[in-house]
Chain A
Amino acid sequence: SQQGEEDPQALSIQEGENATMNCSYKTSINNLQWYRQNSGRGLVHLILIRSNEREKHSGRLRVTLDTSKKSSSLLITASRAADTASYFCATVLLGGGADGLTFGKGTHLIIQP
């Protein structure tokens, strides 16, 4: 069954603005990961945050994790046209590393030049 739900499903902003995407999940996790998928391409890993971590940064990306609310957010600061893509959160369930990633439905982000 689906684990993650991203919100919003689609987001359109102006270049230079910040973009925030949210993800909620249902069961206890080992870690939560964010991936980007450009149109017609494979998935690219962005950030992994473990269940005992609350915040992580990577360049213009900031990810937070609230295990009490079973939610995560991805913030992209100073967006660029090249950030246009679909963004997926994915969870590894507690004790379920061998089960692979459980993906949400994704947020389609469009950066207007």
Chain B
Amino acid sequence: DTAVSQTPKYLVTQMGNDKSIKCEQNLGHDTMYWYKQDSKKFLKIMFSYNNKELIINETVPNRFSPKSPDKAHLNLHINSLELGDSAVYFCASSVPIGDTQYFGPGTRLTVL
């Protein structure tokens, strides 16, 4: 019954590795997002994806790439992980675009 789910909940990996975080929403929403929350709890939008249109926050390194196999999924792939990528990553969805967002439980990524 979970509206927005993410896997894994925790991810510990070595610098330089490539990893993916999966996100699924069963709300039928058209728009999905990825946010990053740093160690000071500051949340920042990374991507929004609506009807196959991807909007990228200009500060996001191109090592990060969202992939959407269908409307219910927006996965986050990260190449060549760096120490600074350690954070909690949240997936969210909304309808209509710009309205109330429903967040997943988050994925805590630790890069060693």
Bound pair: A and B?
A: yes
Interface size on A, residues (CB 8 A): 26
The smallest beta-carbon distance between B4 and chain A, in angstroms, is 8
From A42, A45, A48, contact of B105 by CB (8 A): A42
**Stretch from B12-20, B47-55, B67-75, B79-87 forming part of the interface with A:** B47-55
- List residues 14-55 of chain A with CB under 8 A from any CB of chain B: 30-31, 33, 35, 37, 41-45, 48
Q: Are A42 and B101 in contact (CB under 8 A)?
A: no
In the assembled complex, which residues on chain A have CB atoms less than 8 Å from the CB atom of B98?
30-31, 92, 96-98
Q: A103 and B43 in contact (CB under 8 A), knowing A45-B100, A97-B98?
A: yes
A-B contacts, 14 of them at CB < 8 A, read: A33-B101, A43-B43, A43-B90, A45-B103, A98-B50, A98-B98, A100-B48, A100-B55, A101-B43, A101-B45, A101-B101, A103-B43, A105-B42, A106-B41
Could you tell me the distance in whole angstroms from the C-beta of A15 to the nearest C-beta in chain B? 24
Interface size on B, residues (CB 8 A): 28
A99 to B45, CA, bound (A): 8
Residues of B within 8 A of A48 (CB): 99-100
Q: Which of A86, A97, A102 is the one whose CB lies under 8 Å from B97?
A: A97
Interface residues in chain B, defined as those with a beta carbon under 8 Å from any beta carbon in chain A: 4, 31, 33, 35, 40-45, 48, 50, 53, 55, 57, 90, 92, 96-106
Is B100 in contact with A33, judged by CB distance below 8 angstroms?
yes
The residue on A at minimum CB distance from B54 is: A98
Contact B103 A43 (CB under 8 A): yes
State which of B41, B50, B92 has its C-beta within 8 Å of the C-beta of A105.
B41
In the complex formed, the residue of A with least CB distance to B99 is A48
Contacts of B99 in A (CB 8 A): 31, 48, 92, 97
Residues of A within 8 A of B33 (CB): 100-101
Asked whether B45 lies within 8 Å of A100 as measured between CB atoms, the reply is yes
**Residues in chain B near residue A44, CB distance under 8 A:** 103
Max chain B C-beta neighbours (<10 A), residue from A92, A101, A103: A101
B103 touches A98 (CB 8 A): no
| Chain A residue at smallest Cβ distance from B43 | A103
A99 touches B100 (CB 8 A): no
